């Protein structure tokens, strides 16, 4: 499965006990521990108690696990969103549309627990719509559990960046994998969103390796999605997609890695804003320190590279000659980036695996970027007083030397570089590892909103 949960980190936290005690996956009681380990690439499971009334603080995570667990407030501060939220620009009046397979039966209760723990208000409106039908949730099914974590991440963290925005979750009864599988259903859901005017922002934290769609059936998928995305642009709907968790290395339909750099779709669409991945280092206060390209040879890395399907869009023509040589007249991604490293993690709360396995989980991957950018754009739409719509021409016009992005200049996305697949290095300005970098949101949104 190509969902961004390839990078889900390895811990579950039950936060209420005064001390936290570690327990390995092998000793996790019952089949749920084995299931979580199987579907989320779990490295180890750490629990404190059966209660989840309080998430562990960043300081507790650092002292106990050796890595941070950034709260919504820390992420808001690190990326410069806090002043806008304090001024009342929290996405009020906007609606974020999230598209996933299956969903999770506990998402409403889990979001309420997440909100209560972090002092966030519940969204004004939260709807789960399944116009294509549903299937019963099976907590022993690895595929469904993987998508349940994906859905939880998307909903909780889109809301964390835009606490005043409405959320519509659209679920498919079919799992998207590689190639065309699951894509027609996602296309139908997004058509439904546009036809019913559900919202002005669509988040897609999933994708398939572009090369698995180069056959005639895949070409039809490309054509239909591109038609949809062009319509979204005409209707001032922002469409976002995660750029992938395998750096420049992606797999075919048989889970074999291509021997050359590849990218994923829909992030590679010229009509979509692709979100890559970084490792964010921030102080406990949330104060930004620095970022590098997310790349852990054993967990994952931020997706990026050159499309083999799509020609270079006009908004990338202004990129310098050195970049043009790399692009060779093709679309390059990502456009922007966001924290994605499970070692600079955020937390999600879930209860779909039952009371004994409910809790706060460390999580990572570029899946956290698309929904958080969706929340950010909801705030920006409110600030502007109108939808920002198709972002890419604006982002590239702002671009180089504007000071509105944290320019990532260290690292590369040659994930599992020992497999011989070359990656792309971060450089000053736009690059194929992190795009323009990550946002300084107060300045960026004010510029995009014309304020």
Q: Exactly one of 110, 154, 210, 335 is catalytic; name it.
A: 154
Residue 130 annotated in active site: no
Query: Whole-angstrom Cα distance, residue 380 to residue 384?
Result: 6
Residues 350 and 154 sit within 8 Å (Cβ to Cβ): no
Q: Give the number of other CB atoms < 10 A from CB of residue 18.
A: 6
Residue 226 annotated in active site: no
Query: Whole-angstrom Cα distance, residue 326 to residue 328?
Result: 6
Q: Exactly one of 150, 178, 291, 431 is catalytic; name it.
A: 150
Phi, psi of 370 (to 5 degrees): -60, -50
Q: Exactly one of 246, 367, 370, 412 is catalytic; name it.
A: 367
DSSP string, 88-119: T-S-TT-EEEEEEES--TTHHHHHHHHHHHHT
DSSP string, 384-416: HTS---S-HHHHHHH-TT-SSEE---S-B--TT
Query: Whole-angstrom Cα distance, residue 166 to residue 98?
Result: 11
Residues 344 and 323 sit within 8 Å (Cβ to Cβ): no
Residue 367 annotated in active site: yes
Q: Give the number of other CB atoms < 10 A from CB of residue 209.
A: 24
Contacts of 230 (CB under 8 A, 6+ apart): 271
Task: Output the CA torsion sign for 38, 39, 45, 48.
Answer: negative
Q: In Å, how far are 35, 170, 179, 439 from 38, measured between CA atoms?
A: 5, 26, 23, 34
Known catalytic residues are 150, 154, 367
């Amino acid at each position: 499965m190509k969902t961004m949960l390839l990078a889900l980190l390895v811990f579950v936290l039950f936060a209420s006990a005064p001390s936290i005690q570690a327990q390995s996956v092998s000793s996790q009681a019952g089949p749920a521990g084995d299931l979580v380990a199987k579907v989320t690439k779990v490295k180890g499971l750490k629990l404190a108690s059966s209660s989840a009334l309080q998430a562990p603080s960043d300081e507790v995570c650092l002292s106990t696990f050796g890595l941070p667990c950034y709260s919504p407030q820390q992420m808001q501060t690190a990326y410069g969103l806090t002043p806008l939220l304090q001024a009342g620009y929290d996405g009020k009046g906007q609606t974020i549309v999230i598209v996933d397979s299956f969903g999770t039966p506990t998402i409403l209760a889990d979001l309420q627990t997440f909100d209560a723990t972090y002092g966030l208000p519940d969204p004004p409106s939260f709807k789960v719509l399944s116009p294509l039908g549903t299937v019963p949730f099976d907590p022993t099914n690895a595929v469904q559990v993987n998508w349940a974590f994906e859905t939880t991440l998307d909903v909780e963290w889109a809301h964390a960046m835009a606490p005043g925005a409405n959320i519509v979750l659209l679920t498919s009864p079919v799992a998207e994998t590689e190639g065309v599988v699951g894509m027609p259903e996602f296309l139908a859901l997004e058509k439904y969103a546009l036809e019913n005017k559900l919202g002005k922002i669509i988040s897609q934290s999933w994708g398939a390796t572009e090369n698995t769609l180069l056959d005639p059936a895949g070409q039809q998928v490309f054509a239909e999605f591109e038609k949809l995305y062009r319509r979204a642009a005409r209707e001032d709907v922002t469409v976002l997609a995660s750029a992938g968790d395998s750096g420049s290395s992606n797999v075919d339909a048989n889970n074999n890695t291509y021997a050359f750099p590849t990218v994923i779709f829909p992030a590679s669409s010229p009509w979509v804003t692709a979100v890559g991945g970084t490792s964010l280092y921030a102080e406990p206060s949330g104060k930004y320190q620095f970022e590098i390209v997310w790349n852990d040879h054993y967990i994952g890395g931020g997706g990026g590279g050159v499309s083999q399907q799509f020609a270079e869009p006009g908004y990338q023509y202004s990129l310098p000659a050195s970049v043009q040589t790399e692009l060779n007249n093709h679309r390059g991604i990502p456009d922007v980036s966001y924290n994605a490293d499970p070692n600079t993690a955020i937390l999600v709360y879930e209860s779909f695996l039952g009371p004994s396995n409910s809790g706060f989980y460390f999580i990572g991957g570029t899946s956290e970027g698309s929904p958080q950018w969706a929340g950010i754009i909801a705030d920006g739409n409110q600030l502007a007083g109108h939808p920002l719509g198709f972002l890419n021409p604006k982002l590239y016009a702002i671009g180089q030397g504007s000071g509105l992005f944290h320019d990532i200049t260290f690292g590369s996305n040659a994930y599992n570089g020992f497999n011989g697949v070359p990656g792309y290095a971060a450089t000053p300005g736009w690059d194929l590892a992190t795009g323009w970098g990550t946002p300084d949101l107060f300045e960026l949104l004010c510029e995009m909103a014309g304020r």
